[in-house]
């Protein structure tokens, strides 16, 4: 089958790293870590698995970090090479194992890509999985599967950047007819935002800051509007088209990163700015909570500066290194910083509901209108252009880019 795969033997990794520093186009191609071509079709790992034909596969910021070798080496033990990229997915069932119940060939589904205890066949499950927190699973390198946290990072299972992939029956969420493929491919990233909001729920009246107007930033705005509608949201967006979408999704205010944007943010937060001897102005007071949905130093600096003393910062942005950050506000204002990874279960309306399922319900119930966020769809063979569009947001006005094999 045709697929876009990633492999990182040391010589190839070093060559790709050097070539990519000369031109981003050289991160992909015949001699790079990321290549398009023929790969073996994945086999069912067990009788409780299904084979899926990919209908749509989304491009995530974490995927781009892998392709451009920006992902931290600290995550490499939780992958197995080579693997077919792509964890955001919509698929049609082609084959079911003999132990699969409740799903049939021809049904359209989205697969929760987490490869925690249940898909790995580990009994009893670890304490975190048993508590509904599979993102903290202790066994991402164990059990019946090769190492990997997600479909799309694990050898032999395929991924949504390929024509077919496999998933465990426990991972499947059935898609109703009223949900388009373009909406369904957003279930996985929306679930990440739902998880971040549910685990760090603002109170009514809290002033909330979302740092970043990319797909995760916009989906976090959407999740806040659905789950915490009494908390007004301000968004920092780099591009005007991102700000337009943020407003449509319910942001009370959008601030552009152009010019002296600290003044506008301080006004939105009801805070005041003080001028130090040198450097950026310092915020006194500020937002009650911030969700950092971008990587890089500036996003974290803005959050620490603009969140009030005793406030909370939630980090969703796949940040690796933060060179040159002044961490003084962290201790000076006694801030809390919470990391957020993928999704798990939270008590909702008196019963536990998994964030992946909640995201699917929000989309199916038309609580959120997210279809406009999928701005570009490409065939697999056009992968170089697709990845270029995904990286170059301003020129193409791209938000969510996806592959349709």
Domain 193-339 has CATH 3.40.50.720: yes
Residues 279-321: pLDDT tens digits?
999 999 999 999 999 988 999 999 999 999 999 999 997 777 7
- CA-CA distances (angstroms) from residue 352 to 19, 113, 345, 355? 48, 20, 6, 10
pTM comes to: 0.96
Lowest mean pLDDT among 182-186, 218-222, 223-227, 260-264: 260-264
Please give the pLDDT value at position 348. 74
Give percent above pLDDT 70 in the chain: 100
Model confidence at 50: pLDDT above 90: yes
Model confidence at 60: pLDDT above 80: yes
Model confidence at 250: pLDDT above 90: yes
Residues 216-242: pLDDT tens digits?
999 999 999 999 999 999 999 999 999
Please give the pLDDT value at position 404. 98
Please give the pLDDT value at position 259. 84
* pLDDT (average), residues 11-39: 94
Model confidence at 126: pLDDT above 80: yes
Please give the pLDDT value at position 300. 95
323 pLDDT tier (thresholds 50, 70, 90) = confident
* pLDDT (average), residues 245-259: 95
Task: Parse the chain into domains and list their residue ranges.
Answer: 2-114+149-186+370-403, 193-339
Calculate the average pLDDT of the chain: 95
Domain at 2-114+149-186+370-403: CATH code:
3.90.180.10
Please give the pLDDT value at position 84. 98
């Amino acid at each position: 089958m045709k697929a876009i795969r990633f492999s990182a033997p040391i010589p190839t990794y070093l060559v790709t790293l050097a070539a990519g520093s000369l031109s981003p186009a050289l991160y992909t191609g015949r001699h790079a870590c990321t290549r398009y071509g023929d790969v073996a079709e994945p086999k069912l790992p067990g009788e409780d698995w299904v084979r899926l034909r990919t209908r749509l596969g989304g491009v995530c910021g974490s995927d781009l970090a892998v392709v451009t070798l920006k992902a931290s080496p600290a995550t490499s033990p939780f992958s197995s090479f080579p693997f077919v990229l792509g964890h955001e997915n919509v698929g049609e069932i082609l084959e079911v194992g003999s132990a699969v119940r409740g799903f049939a060939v021809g049904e359209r589904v989205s697969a929760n890509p987490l490869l925690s205890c249940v898909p790995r066949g580990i009994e009893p499950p670890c304490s975190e999985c048993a508590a509904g927190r599979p993102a903290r699973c202790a066994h991402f390198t164990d059990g019946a599967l090769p190492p990997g946290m997600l479909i799309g990072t694990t050898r032999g299972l395929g991924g949504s950047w390929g024509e077919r992939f496999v998933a465990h029956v426990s991972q499947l969420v059935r898609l109703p007819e009223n949900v388009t493929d373009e909406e369904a491919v957003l279930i996985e990233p929306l679930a990440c935002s739902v998880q971040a909001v549910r685990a760090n729920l603002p109170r009514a009246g809290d002033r909330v800051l979302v740092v970043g107007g990319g797909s995760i930033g916009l989906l976090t705005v959407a999740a806040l509007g659905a789950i915490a509608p009494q908390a007004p949201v301000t968004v920092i967006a780099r591009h005007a088209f991102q700000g337009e979408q943020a407003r449509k999704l319910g942001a009370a205010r959008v601030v552009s990163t152009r010019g002296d944007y600290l003044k506008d943010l301080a006004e939105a937060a009801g805070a005041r700015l003080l001028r130090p001897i040198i450097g950026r102005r310092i915020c006194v007071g500020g937002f009650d909570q911030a969700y950092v949905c971008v990587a890089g130093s500036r996003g974290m600096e803005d959050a620490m500066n603009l969140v009030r003393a005793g406030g909370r910062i939630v980090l969703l942005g796949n940040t690796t290194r933060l060179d040159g950050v002044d961490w003084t506000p962290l201790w000076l204002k006694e801030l809390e910083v919470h990391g957020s990874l993928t999704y798990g279960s939270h008590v909702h309306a008196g019963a536990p509901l998994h964030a992946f399922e909640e995201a699917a319900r929000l989309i199916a119930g038309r609580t959120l209108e997210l279809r406009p966020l999928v701005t570009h769809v490409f065939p697999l063979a056009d992968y170089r252009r697709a990845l270029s569009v995904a990286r170059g947001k301003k020129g193409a006005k791209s938000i969510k880019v996806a592959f349709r094999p």
